[in-house]
A and B are shown apart, each in its own frame.
Chain A
Amino acid sequence: MPTLILRRFGFAAFTIAFVSLVMFAAVEALPGNVCTSFLQRFAQGPRLERCIEQQGLDRPALVRYGDWVAGAAQGDFGYSLKKRKPVNELIWERFRNTALLGGIAALLAIPLAIFLGIAAGVRRDRPVDLSLSGAAMLAMTIPEFVTATALIYVFAILLQWFPAVTIVSPGASVLQMLPNIVLPVIVLSAVLIAHIMRMVRASVIDVMASDYVQMARLKGVPERQIIRKHVVPNAMIPALNVIALTIAWLLAGVVVVEKVFNYPGLGTLMIQAIYDRDLPMVQAVALIFSVIYVAVNLLADLAALVLDPRLRRKGH
């Protein structure tokens, strides 16, 4: 058991190292460097020299990579070219806002999706299942910005219940954010619910067809009890990893949804940094998102290990 846990941590560390290396190498591979890309036609003379010195570009790439990773591990993400400030001074409030949005969406979506997935799975191909699966298909295929625009039209323009875009001053408290996040949370949860529900449903159908469920039926165990005792616990384990993977959708969706609602989170910060060609900022936000993602997957792996004794046996 301890070796298995260590191995999971090892893979998470490997993934973060790999992802950071790829992100660093991608920027290294560009013609020119961070400074010429930012300054464009002004990239000459003292301005370029100052930028190169400030970003430490005169050092070899390997040293800079080491510095970048070591700095990030201590919460120092480099220096924003556009904002002329250390990146970590700019990200924490944004990080809180995104965590608030994503966290509420996940807390709302995951239990609801599991419930709906089980409801659809045990009634396979019956009206409940068909309508739930149909709705999930729509939620998965219609782009987030379309759903968001439709919600804005109905709830912000026609009914005027919620603001169409986020209007808060920097430094707003969590309480002031709340009315602004209702619509973004609905859009994000809809996609999450659809993905997780589909997986839970597939998993439930799989378990319902298994020998031990057949056996329980033949023994005359009431259907309700079969579902509660056999189907749900066994269907949860494969679904757990998929739930973690859908967090990737959540993270990607967050970028689009934040942009639609002009929400002051990490996503809008990253998009603005891309418009500004502020690569240190882009790299920092991408790294933070990746670490969150890997951490969520690690948690799911560990939870699966706790829940499923079979995974703890040798050979896995």
Chain B
Amino acid sequence: MMNLLQTVISRPSGALGLGLTLFHVLMALFAPWIAPYDPTMQNADAILLAPSFEHWMGTDTLGRDVFSRVLHGGRLAIAVTFSAAVIATLWGGFAGIFFGTVGGRVDEFSMRIVDAFLSMPWLLFLLLIISIGGAGPVTIIPTLGFFYGVAILRVVRGAAMQVAARDFVTAAKARGERLWPVIAREVFPNLSDILLVEGAMRWSWMLLAFSSLSFLGFGATPPTPDWGLMVAQERGLLSTAPWGVFWPCFALSSLIIGINLLADAIGKALGLDRATAIAV
């Protein structure tokens, strides 16, 4: 673990990725203690003020402090997408290892269904589910977790098939070991690296998806400070008060880029170069 961390930091992109990710996670955790103002407090005397010493990033249409809102703006997005990423990695990884190890007709049949799910434009499906179940984390976490899990399943299943064809698995099967011990002791340990990298990569895509949903008005609900929602709300005043839009855009993009760089660096450190693999 320490070795992995050192290899990741030794690359400039890895160090930048880890730094950005840690920075945003810490800011999200400690936002209530750092923020100078209440992020939802409206102030009719301080509407659309330009950045100053009192309000570092200015104020928005309702006189709320943009700096305090940007600090809080990642909390919901990070919590929702991280939970969804964990769900996706767990179920997708588990099912992928299972089908890849078992093979045969069960695997072939399941992959037809997986392919059918992969050929659904998932954002549209998410929008359909939201129009039925209503917006908010309760609908979004399981749906993101499920759909990204399908993609992880496909990747992990391919890798598991390769591991299952190796000699030590054949030997374990020949010793008469049952399916579950083979999966737990022989196959899984060889795939934990891929799971880690896939999980981190999908986390960054989920952040992109969740903030897009927030921007469309189906993610966070007002008055929750959320980057995507802040951009949607302040966008109309882009020409007169660009600070209300710029800072949430900047924070969101830097977090997604950070996680992406981190996942890439972990992958390279573990010898899994995603850049040369045809991804699903």
Does B245 lie within 8 Å of A149, measured CB to CB? yes
Assess A206 versus B276: contact at CB under 8 Å? Given A143-B211, A256-B215: yes
Does A145 lie within 8 Å of B228, measured CB to CB? yes
Q: Which residues of B contact A185 (CB under 8 A)?
A: none
Assess A238 versus B278: contact at CB under 8 Å? Given A255-B216, A256-B215: yes
Q: Which residues of B contact A203 (CB under 8 A)?
A: 278
- Within the complex, the shortest CB–CB distance from B111 to chain A, in Å, comes to 11
Does B276 lie within 8 Å of A153, measured CB to CB? no
- Between A and B, how many residue pairs show CB distances below 8 Å? 141
Number of interface residues of B (CB under 8 A): 48
- The reply to whether the CB of B4 lies closer than 8 angstroms to some CB of chain A is no
Does A144 lie within 8 Å of B212, measured CB to CB? yes
Does A274 lie within 8 Å of B212, measured CB to CB? no
Closest to A32 in B: B132
- The reply to whether the CB of A57 lies closer than 8 angstroms to some CB of chain B is no
- Within the complex, the shortest CB–CB distance from A276 to chain B, in Å, comes to 9
Number of interface residues of A (CB under 8 A): 59
**Contact flags (1/0) for A150-167 with B, using CB distance below 8 Å?**
101100010000000000
- Within the complex, the shortest CB–CB distance from B136 to chain A, in Å, comes to 14
Q: Choose one: A140, A150, A242, A286; the contact of B128 (CB below 8 Å).
A: A286
Does A286 lie within 8 Å of B275, measured CB to CB? no
Does A19 lie within 8 Å of B116, measured CB to CB? yes
Can you sample 27 A-B contacts with CB below 8 Å?
A11-B115, A26-B128, A137-B257, A141-B208, A143-B208, A143-B228, A143-B252, A145-B215, A145-B232, A146-B249, A153-B238, A153-B239, A157-B238, A199-B278, A202-B275, A206-B276, A245-B280, A248-B119, A248-B121, A251-B121, A255-B127, A256-B212, A256-B215, A270-B127, A277-B131, A279-B131, A290-B124
Chain A interfacial positions (CB closer than 8 Å to B)? 11, 14-15, 18-19, 22-23, 26-27, 29-30, 37, 133, 137-138, 140-146, 149-150, 152-153, 157, 198-199, 201-203, 205-206, 238, 242, 245, 248, 251-252, 255-256, 259, 270-271, 273-275, 277, 279, 282-283, 285-286, 289-290, 293-294, 297
